[in-house]
Amino acid sequence: MYAVIKTAGKQYRVFPGEVVRLDKMEEQVGDQVEFDKVLAIQDEEQHTIGRPTIDNAKVLGTVVETGRAKKIRVLKFKRRKQYRVLRGHRQDFTAVKIDAIRSEPQEG
C-alpha cells in the first residue's frame, strides 16, 4: 500500500513505515503530523485517484529528525572572461516517519 501526498508544492510517494525527507516544517521532533492533501492511494485490490484530492483520506506521520542536507556546490563559469562564482547551498529538511494511510469511505 502506498499514497501520493502533496506538501510544500511537491508530491511524494509514501509507504507506511518509511522515513521521508520533506521540506522544512514548523513541527518539532516527536510531533504528530497529518497530511490531508492525498492525491492517490494504491491498495492491494484497488487504486484510487483524487480529483484533485481524495476526500476523507489522510496520511499520519511522526517527525523523527530536523536538519540540513549535505552541501552542494554551484559553479558559474564563463570561459576566457575571468568570471567564476562558486556558491554552496544546504537545504533544510524535516524527516517524517509515515505511521498510517487512512481512507474512510464516503457517505452518500
Residue at 54 is within a domain: yes
pLDDT tens sequence for the chain (108 residues): 999 999 999 999 999 999 999 999 999 999 999 999 999 999 888 899 999 999 999 999 999 999 999 999 999 999 999 999 999 999 999 999 999 999 876 654
Instruction: List the beta strands (DSSP E) in 44-91.
Output: 47-49, 57-68, 72-78, 83-89
Residue 88 lies in a domain: yes
Q: Is residue 62 part of a domain?
A: yes
Is 59 inside any structural domain? yes
Q: Is residue 81 part of a domain?
A: yes
- pTM of the full predicted structure? 0.83
Grid cell locating 55? 476526500
Structural domain contains residue 108? no
- Domain hosting 57: range is 2-103
Q: How many domains does the chain have?
A: 1
